[in-house]
Amino acid sequence: MKTFVMDACALIAFLSDETGAQVVSDVLLKAADSKVLVTMNGLNLLEVYYDMYRKVGKEKAQEQLSMIEKLPLSIRPEISGKVFMEAGRLKAGYHISIADSVALAEALVSGGSLLTADHHEFDAVEPKEKKIKFCWIR
Which CATH number is 87's domain given? 3.40.50.1010
Question: What pLDDT score does 20 carry?
Answer: 98
The series of mean pLDDT values per 10 residues for the chain, 138 residues long, is 98 97 98 98 98 96 97 97 98 96 98 97 96 98
Sequence length of the chain is 138
Question: What pLDDT score does 48 carry?
Answer: 98
Question: What pLDDT score does 72 carry?
Answer: 98
Inter-CA distances, 87 with 59, 80, 93, 106, Å:
32, 10, 10, 8
* Cα gap 51→55, rounded to integer Å: 6
State the residue range of the domain holding 24: 2-136
Question: What pLDDT score does 40 carry?
Answer: 98
Domain count for the chain:
1
Contacts of 24 (CB under 8 A, 6+ apart): 6, 10, 11, 13, 14, 115, 137
Q: Are 125 and 104 in contact (CB under 8 A)?
A: yes
CA angle 126, 129, 130 (to 5 degrees): 90
